[in-house]
Every structure is written in C-alpha cells, then in structure tokens.
Amino acid sequence: MQQRTEDLTGRSFGRLTVLERDRAPRESSGGHAYWRCACDCGNETSVAGCALRDGSTKSCGCLRREMYAAKHGTRYSYDGRGCRCDQCRKWKREQDLRYRARNPEKAKEKSRRWKDAHPEEHLAMTRRNAKKLNDKLRETAERHGREWTGVELEIASRPDLTARQVATVLRRTLSAVRNMRQRLASDLDPRDRMLANGPQPPTSRSGPR
C-alpha cells in the first residue's frame, strides 16, 4: 500500500535541510521514511518525511526552545535559563508545592539533606522567613496591644495550632502570641495571671470588689 518514497534530499523545511535518507532501524517508525537533516542552528536531527512535509517539524527543537525562552514562568525559563523574575519565582514556588504534595516523604528528606549541607544558608533563610512572616503579621495585627479575651486565650492555648496560625486568626503579632503561650504554659491559670500582672489596670468603672 505504501507509496514510493519521495526523495527529499536537498530540500529545506523551515530551519531544516535534508541531508539524506536515514535508514537506521528504529522501534516505532510507523512505516515512515526518516530523513537526516541539518538544522540552521548547527544541530543534526532525524525527522519523518511526513512531519517535514506537513510542517509540524521545522527545526531540531531549537525553535521550540527559543519560543519557551521568551516565556517566563516555565521550567525552561527557571531551570534552563536561570531566570529569577517574579513570574519565574512564582512558578518555582508552585512547582515545589506540587512536588511536596505528590512526594511528601521525599520532599522532607530532600530538605533535610539540603539543611545539613548548607547550615548557614538554612539559618539565613529561616531568619529571612521569620522576618517576612513577622512583617506580614504586623500589617494585619489590628488587635495588637489590646487585652486578650477569654476566647482568644482559648484559641491561643490550642495545641493543634501553630503560633503563626493563632497570630493570623487573632490578628496579633507572632511575638505577642508566643509571649502569651509562654504565660499560658506556666502553671497559673491564664486569666489569674492576666489579672496578676495584666496590662490593664482596673478602671474606676470596674467598681468595688
């Protein structure tokens, strides 16, 4: 059924110029004739004749690489070109999250190894992140400096929440939450403790006891 193979030698398709028929055996040629081509970029590649004729292959892959090179927020841009623009960083963050979600154990092991190998960088990163978090929480800490309510104290003493989560929920600073947690951890009942050395002196309105 196969038609006689048209000789493409010497013809050009995009960046590719056909050198000769590629007769090397291949696993999945699909019955197509393959052609060894020289790419304008200097690479050589082997392409099925039909892909050349229908225009689906126009280069050794350099066209696609260049196309991706112009884009940000891709693996090519971040890993390949080493771009660190906002968009590429965002891609990397999301990529890391996706990886961690898929391989939680591997990710933990990987970061542990990195931490052991780069103790100083790890410390610097921890400090940077803590500062960033502090700044962020300070922006939303509208309850900062106000007296703690009973509900707030209950939330703060929940062991299943991190200090960061408590600070976010209560709109307080991280240090305020940590201090309060330390107080809560002491043996005094937190509310007694609040009264003992609490920030608010009793006002005249509070009346006689």
| Integer angstrom CA distances of residue 7 from 26, 33, 34, 59 | 19, 10, 11, 19
| Binding characters for Zn ion, 12-41, by CB under 5 A (x = yes) | ---------------------------x-x
Tokens of 196: 């003992």
| Closest by CA position to 48, among listed 61, 30, 64, 62 | 30
Phi/psi for 48 (5° steps) reads -65, 140
Nearer to Zn ion, 57 or 173 (CB): 57
Q: CB-based burial of residue 179 (10 Å sphere; 0-12 exposed, 13-18 middle, 19+ buried)?
A: exposed
Phi/psi for 24 (5° steps) reads -60, 135
| 140 sits near Zn ion (criterion: CB under 5 A) | no
From 52-60, 98-106, 129-137, 161-169, give the range in contact with Zn ion by CB under 5 A: 52-60
Kindly identify the residues of this chain, within the stretch 151-190, that bind Zn ion according to CB under 5 A. Answer: none
* Residue 68 Cβ vs Zn ion, minimum distance, rounded to whole Å: 11
Nearer to Zn ion, 61 or 104 (CB): 61
Kindly identify the residues of this chain, within the stretch 53-112, that bind Zn ion according to CB under 5 A. Answer: 59-60, 62, 72, 77, 83, 85, 88
CA distance 197 to 209: 18
Nearer to Zn ion, 81 or 115 (CB): 81
Q: CB-based burial of residue 139 (10 Å sphere; 0-12 exposed, 13-18 middle, 19+ buried)?
A: exposed
* Residue 42 Cβ vs Zn ion, minimum distance, rounded to whole Å: 7
Nearer to Zn ion, 62 or 107 (CB): 62
Q: Which residues bind Zn ion (CB under 5 A)?
A: 39, 41, 43, 59-60, 62, 72, 77, 83, 85, 88
